[in-house]
Amino acid sequence: MAKQSKTAISPTREQDYPAWYQEVIKASDMAENSPVRGCMVIKPWGYAIWENIMQQMDVLFKETGVKNAYFPLFIPLSYLEKEAEHVEGFAKECAVVTHHRLEPDGKGGLKPAGELAEPLIVRPTSETIIGESMARWTTSYRDLPLLLNQWANVVRWEMRTRMFLRTSEFLWQEGHTAHATAREAKERTMQMLDVYTKFVQECLAMPVIRGRKTVAERFPGADDTTCIEAMMQDKRALQAGTSHFLGQNFAKSSEIKFQNEEGQEAYAWTTSWGTSTRMIGGIIMVHSDDDGLVLPPRIAPAHAVIMPILKKGDDNREVMESARGLKDVLEGKLYHGRKINIEIDDRDTGGARGWDWVKKGVPVRIELGPRDIEQNMVSVARRDQAVNEKQSINREEFISEFTNILDNIQDTLFNRAIAFRKENTFEIDDKKAFYKIYQKARGYKNGAFVMAHWCGSQDCESTIKDHLSVTIRCIPFDSPVEEGSCICCGNSSSRRVLFAKAY
RNA sequence: CGGGGCGUAGCGCAGCCUGGUAGCGCGCCUGCUUUGGGAGCAGGAUGUCGGAGGUUCGAAUCCUCUCGCCCCGACCA
């Protein structure tokens, strides 16, 4: 018997975390690199996760009154120029379209011709072009609030890319709202952060810390940026969603004005909020193990796979019929608002078949052979448990318990992630200890979330960033007011902030 | 964009230093055996050695350029 490595994925997380991450994506067949630099091809197994994210978040958005729309991929260069901070934030990473036609170059190839009068940028985000529409759609306070969202792709010409976490083109959702009052806009900012929190924690089983960005980490053009931050297994932080209060900055640059109840002309107050395919990178890094992807049942493309145990001979029909029967019964149910999806894999590849599904992260693996059928049992393995750990369950009992099993896996993953974060989050007041914890932070084994006091000065923030590549991920909403001294300069501070290395 | 590493079959790699147009493991195909499990035996298919130039009688191998990937840094809502 050819002995394989003990883990399905090599290297392991401990051996080489970034390489492990790439391997999980490859082994699960989620995505691959494309011929275009920095861009990825999302394969069906990966895209199905995104579809599930879209479907479930879309429902949550609509419950708050948001409507979907679609705005152009191309934005006139002059639009981006309207908001000064916004320009500064995005100019460096914009792709620019300068021509609209190709002609034979005389050497058998093609060359761009027909230069555009005004270059178009490929949207890195859509505040400016949506602002243009909002300005025209908003004349009276009765037109407000205007609550829009679009599901789209955006392009940011990144220097360094990683699949799902940072690619030159990525898929996201961007919400844009306009309101009559600052208070209402601020409430909307928080409301959408609540939606993100609920979705990420309940559906992706990723615990998050909610908070406010420092001025240095704010969205360009925002008055206030709030975020949810999650801990990956290498103890780095991943921003899983952001929601911005844009004040009147974009309203002024895009002329989003309306007549208020007193008949006076006023600028609207706007917000924007987004989440992206980056969340899939988060799912990978929060839950997966050295045997590959682990998917929370609520976003898994398939909830379970049935692997019929077939023998060469003529008695397989009964097994296949039994498998199909089980699939039909289970698929007649709903789980967390989504129709249950069961795969049947009847390939005759021996044990490799099971490992394929382990690597793909399917939550439940069901083996069904003649012996099971005879005894009216099914053999069940769960992705949140050891690979060889399987139990025989009465078929009817399994069917009636199936959604509970899925819930149980979902809860296990969430609780595990919470426990992991707790183990690796520290309150530190001593500067030496703070430096020590990050100076040795290389790879998977070290690093941490640190709650430490910060005086509020940008100098201290950037000093720490320079020394340790550690940044303030957020000022958590729930960090209590308490007296302390800044971890960097020692000046007085009234609350702790969250420090971590960031993705 | 700076420093480092790497591109050879679907995947993982050897061969390169010391040029003679490719090999191993896994996977894949066929047959037999096996079967609650990353199977065994036998046979088989698959590569313009990332790309373009150059040196040479001859280049995966040497030289130049180029594209891409990975890591560190810079940078990044």
Question: A400 and A438 share a domain?
Answer: no
3-state secondary structure of A319: helix
Region A317-336: what's the mean pLDDT?
A: 94
Question: A208 and A64 share a domain?
Answer: yes
Task: Select from A473, A418, A419, A420 the least CA-distant residue to A451.
Answer: A473
How much is the pLDDT for A109? 76
CA distance A53 to A485: 42
Question: A253 and A311 share a domain?
Answer: no
The amino acid at A52: N
> A299: Cβ–Cβ under 8 A, 6 or more apart, which residues?
A49, A52, A53, A56, A203, A204, A283
- Percent of chain A exceeding pLDDT 70 equals 97
Q: CATH no. for residue A451?
A: 3.30.110.30
- A294 domain residue, yes or no: no
The DSSP element (H or E) to which A463 belongs, if any, is helix A458-468
The DSSP symbol for A322 reads: H
Task: Select from A33, A60, A63 the least CA-distant residue to A46.
Answer: A33
How much is the pLDDT for A443? 58
> A483: Cβ–Cβ under 8 A, 6 or more apart, which residues?
A492, A493, A494
The DSSP symbol for A215 reads: G
The amino acid at A2: A
The DSSP element (H or E) to which A61 belongs, if any, is helix A44-63
pLDDT surpassing 90 at residue A15: no
Question: How would you write A390-434 as a 3-class SS string?
Answer: EEEEEHHHHHHHHHHHHHHHHHHHHHHHHHHHHHCEEECCCHHHH
CA distance A405 to A177: 39
Measure A463 CA to B50 C1' (Å).
Answer: 42
3-state secondary structure of A351: coil
Question: A97 and A231 share a domain?
Answer: yes
Tell me the pLDDT tens digit for each residue of A188-203. Answer: 999 999 999 999 999 9
Question: A214 and A338 share a domain?
Answer: no
> A218: Cβ–Cβ under 8 A, 6 or more apart, which residues?
A224, A225, A244
Question: Residue A366: which nucleotide is closest by CA–C1'?
Answer: B36
Q: CATH no. for residue A65?
A: 3.30.930.10
Mean pLDDT of the residues in chain A: 93
- A118 domain residue, yes or no: yes
How much is the pLDDT for A385? 95
Measure A148 CA to B18 C1' (Å).
Answer: 69
Tally the domains of chain A.
Answer: 3
Tell me the pLDDT tens digit for each residue of A413-432. Answer: 999 999 999 999 999 999 99
Chain centre distance of CA A280: 5
Question: Residue A381: which nucleotide is closest by CA–C1'?
Answer: B36
Question: A149 and A247 share a domain?
Answer: yes
Measure A292 CA to B49 C1' (Å).
Answer: 31
Measure A2 CA to B41 C1' (Å).
Answer: 14
Question: A403 and A434 share a domain?
Answer: no
- A229 domain residue, yes or no: yes
Instruction: Compute how many other C-beta atoms are within 10 angstroms of the C-beta atom of residue A101.
Output: 11
Task: Select from A252, A249, A242 the least CA-distant residue to A272.
Answer: A242
Cβ A211 vs Cβ A475: under 8 Å: yes
Here the ipTM equals 0.89
Tell me the pLDDT tens digit for each residue of A77-95. Answer: 999 999 888 888 899 899 9
CA distance A228 to A213: 10
pLDDT surpassing 50 at residue A501: yes
Cβ A471 vs Cβ A458: under 8 Å: no
pLDDT-derived band at A310 (thresholds 50, 70, 90) equals confident
Q: CATH no. for residue A388?
A: 3.40.50.800
> Which domain-ending residue is among A217, A252, A287?
A287
CA distance A254 to A167: 29
Question: A237 and A184 share a domain?
Answer: yes
Nucleotides of B under 7 A from a protein CB: 1, 11-12, 25-28, 33-40, 67-77
Measure A22 CA to B6 C1' (Å).
Answer: 15
Question: A63 and A116 share a domain?
Answer: yes
Cβ A428 vs Cβ A450: under 8 Å: yes
Max Cα-Cα span within chain A: 85
The DSSP symbol for A162 reads: B
How much is the pLDDT for A440? 64
Question: Residue A27: which nucleotide is closest by CA–C1'?
Answer: B11
Cβ A122 vs Cβ A74: under 8 Å: yes
Question: A397 and A260 share a domain?
Answer: no
- A257 domain residue, yes or no: yes
Instruction: Compute how many other C-beta atoms are within 10 angstroms of the C-beta atom of residue A333.
Output: 14
> A186: Cβ–Cβ under 8 A, 6 or more apart, which residues?
A224, A245
Question: Residue A17: which nucleotide is closest by CA–C1'?
Answer: B71
Could you give phi then psi for residue A341, rounded to 5 degrees? -120, 125
The amino acid at A50: W
CA distance A370 to A313: 13
- A419 domain residue, yes or no: no
Task: Select from A142, A27, A121 the least CA-distant residue to A79.
Answer: A121
- Helix intervals (H) in A147-302: 182-202, 249-254, 278-287
Measure A470 CA to B2 C1' (Å).
Answer: 21
- A1 domain residue, yes or no: no
Tell me the pLDDT tens digit for each residue of A209-252. Answer: 999 999 999 999 999 999 999 999 999 999 999 999 999 999 99
Question: A372 and A264 share a domain?
Answer: no
Helix-helix angle A458-468:A431-439, to 10 degrees: 40
CA distance A376 to A320: 14
- Facing residues of A243 across strands? A226, A273
Question: Residue A356: which nucleotide is closest by CA–C1'?
Answer: B38
Measure A295 CA to B64 C1' (Å).
Answer: 49
CA distance A195 to A193: 5
Q: Which domain holds residue A439?
A: 425-500
Question: A116 and A189 share a domain?
Answer: yes
Chain centre distance of CA A265: 40
Tell me the pLDDT tens digit for each residue of A361-411. Answer: 999 999 999 889 999 999 999 999 999 899 999 999 999 999 999 999 999
Question: Residue A22: which nucleotide is closest by CA–C1'?
Answer: B70
- A169 domain residue, yes or no: yes
- A259 domain residue, yes or no: yes
Measure A353 CA to B46 C1' (Å).
Answer: 23
Question: Residue A468: which nucleotide is closest by CA–C1'?
Answer: B73
